[in-house]
Structure 1
């Protein structure tokens, strides 16, 4: 039996079967797909960079959104917290007393541990401390809503002024409902500070400068024994007080102390300046510069030598007490004008009246240029000039005192007339010039500095040299001065012959 086949067609030699061709074609297609799949495209780097930027942008947007959300949540939290603190501050302030370290002293919240007390309780506590309650000084329109209380200690082994002030306190009536509704009045302590008097060397400084006290003084604090309110002429910006003590030395009674100011808005008591007066005069408020408020005047005149310290009230940047006392001084000159500077130069050396005359002339000539600071200096000089003029116009029994009063006021010619009227007894004037500690000679030198050609001043310069050194030295000085005329030299030589 003949063999049968699946294909009826015979297979020629060298010819590939159809199934084999299909397989090869499929293999090629598969390879092409694989090649295309793994082949690196020329734009692959650009596409990768673009995808990276998009991802970064998405991250940045997400971070911004989160930051805005956190900020809004924090702000809302702060608003809620501040609102809650405000409510507590109004209805129960003691619950927020932890804020005190972050608040100024005047705004601090009274904690529960600092509860108010009655006046009886306050005095009892002071007594337990072995101290003495002083006289109550009312604050704020003299009502019992607030008051100042000085506290004293006793000095041992003393004959007078045995009590001295060691502390000052101010109290304000409690306004809390709990205490306000009580029959008795309760008070919160609003200020308290220790009081230490000024040191001795500071108190006697004017006496040392005048040569009355030889000992310059110690650093021992002197006691203050009195506190009083300025009832008259004080500025209306708050309440003004003075603390006072006294120091006796021979026939001299020196008063000293402090000036205090109470700020009504801040309820703050503060020390402003210390003061001393070798004549025992209390500080006074008086009109000096013509401003709205009067000035504080402290008198330190000793003998014929006038000295005033004058203070103006000025605004201050200090929040708790935005007011200060600024002393009017002659340095630096308030105007750059040369004549004005020369006028202040002779005033600083004690020639108050010549300086005042000069300044009044300058004021007329340059009225538009006179600033408030310059006017204050002019007024300070005018106040001193009034004192020296009054002393010079007084008839003195002693020729030397009369000469001294004239020289202090710059009346050179009138002083020479008194000297010339004593040809038989010049020793009194010679002793006056010889014992001069500088107040006469400094005036002479200042006058010669601004006008070296004035013969009356030249004469007194020669006389003071002759008195302090020798007559020959007076003649020698006279010969060395080229700006002295022959007529003046002859006149001064006759004066030197008398000394």
Structure 2
């Protein structure tokens, strides 16, 4: 008969250790942090490949001697170098439009000069002005190469916006009869002038106007595009195209009594006054949280049927009946 080994008989089962629930929680937290770190690193990597300037905002927190280097930007150039490079590409530099001083795009700390440079291309064949604007470039003056005051200043290109003019059909639309067979074409009309809105303008950013002129019969039509520059994000947008059969550029005026200027576009045809009015509103878009929203002019200021009738007659070109309605309304007090 076999007897069990004394060694085996003396072996006691090991007690099972109790696992702390906090250990499991810590393990899960570590895994989540690791996954988040990997995802964040991947996102930053993609951003740096697509937009190398993503990390520029961090420069404001570092001393001047520890800058974050920027890749993907052209080196600073003088105006002579910029013009020479454009000529080699068959383009020309237009007249620079100075903007206000702004924070440097490179270090987010220094105050530098800004300007918009129109890039021109000659159109052949052409009538009138042959040079059209095909691009707008935003430049900032640089501090790195200002040691020698006798040398030509250098400029850093921050961004560029391609420009294509509005199509012919949309420009002539206000003067074209809907029954006419000539509704215009899809040919893009040139934008030839860049200017800044002056006087009473909204306080949000910088408002600019790209414009051109075209002739239809004996009518000179002005047309163009309103631009808005957000200096905080160095972002240039084109919120609105416009056209004016009377050849007038848009103007900013306070029209509704709300304390803010609105954009007025004169689209009068013949003796029939027509206007479009836009106001500035905000949207949830970080690079440029500003847009232009049309204001309905069909809503009368007075809640009176007689007043509405007078406005309707005036819009239809029936001036005498409209005046009679207004006079009768005035007599009623």
TM-score of Structure 1 vs Structure 2, range by shorter chain: 0.7 to 0.9
Match of 2:284 among 309, 313, 317: 317
- The equivalent residue for 1:158 is 126
Counterpart among 227, 236, 254 of residue 194 in structure 2: 227
Q: Quote the offset at 1:285 in angstroms.
A: 0.4
Cα offset for 1:207? 1.0
**Are residues 228 and 359 of structure 1, via their aligned partners in 2, closer, same or farther at CA, if it must alter by over 3 Å?**
farther
Counterpart of 1:484 in structure 2 is none
**In proportion to residue count, which structure has more helix?**
1
Larger Rg: 1
Secondary structure of the corresponding residue to residue 196 of structure 1 = coil
| Alpha-carbon spacing, 1:107–1:277, altered in 2? closer, same or farther (3 Å) | farther
What CA distance in whole angstroms lies between the structure 2 residues aligned with 1:230 and 1:69? 55
CA contact (8 A) 1:161 1:225 kept: yes
Equivalent of 1:132 in 64, 74, 92: 92
For 1:358, the equivalent position in structure 2 comes to 303
Trace 1:223-302 onto structure 2 (pairs within 5 A): 223-302=190-269
2:165 to 188, 191, 197: 197
Q: 2:64 aligns to what?
A: none
Please list, as runs of the form range in 1=range in 2, the aligned pairs for 1:5-24 lying within 5 A after superposition. Answer: none
Give the TM-score normalised by structure 2. Answer: 0.72
Distance 1:151 1:254 in 2: 24
Picking from 102, 115, 118, the partner of 2:75 is: 115
1:418-429 equivalences under 5 Å are none
Cα shift at 1:405: 2.4
Q: Which runs of no fewer than 5 residues in structure 1 stay unpaired?
A: 1-29, 35-46, 86-95, 331-343, 348-354, 363-380, 393-402, 415-499
Encode CA deviations 1:260-304: one digit per residue, 9 max, x unaligned: 111121122211100001111110000111223200000111123
**Does the residue aligned with 1:114 lie in a helix, a strand or coil?**
coil
Shift of 1:171: 0.2
Residue 179 (structure 1) aligned with residue 145 (structure 2) = yes
Normalising by structure 1, what TM-score? 0.50
Distance 1:171 1:97, change over 3 A: farther
Give, in angstroms, the shift of residue 112 of structure 1. 6.4
**Gap runs ≥5 in structure 2:** 5-11, 58-68, 103-110, 328-333
What SS does structure 1 have at the residue aligned with 2:281?
Answer: strand
SS at match of 1:156: coil
Tell me: CA distance 1:295–1:210, structure 2 relative to 1, closer, same or farther (3 Å): farther
**Count of aligned residue pairs for this structure pair:** 296
- Following TM superposition, by how much is the alpha carbon of 1:148 offset from its aligned partner in structure 2, in angstroms? 0.6
Distance 1:161 1:309 in 2: 28
RMSD of aligned residue pairs (Cα, Å): 4.5
CA distance in 2, matches of 1:252, 1:241: 25
Task: Supply the distance in 1 between the matched residues of 2:303 and 2:26 (Cα, whole angstroms).
Answer: 77
CA distance in 1, matches of 2:296, 2:286: 26
| SS across alignment from 1:325 | strand
Deviations 1:437-460 (A, max 9, x none): xxxxxxxxxxxxxxxxxxxxxxxx
After superposition, residues 469-488 of structure 1 pair within 5 angstroms as: none
Structure with more strand by fraction: 2
Match in the other structure for 1:23: none
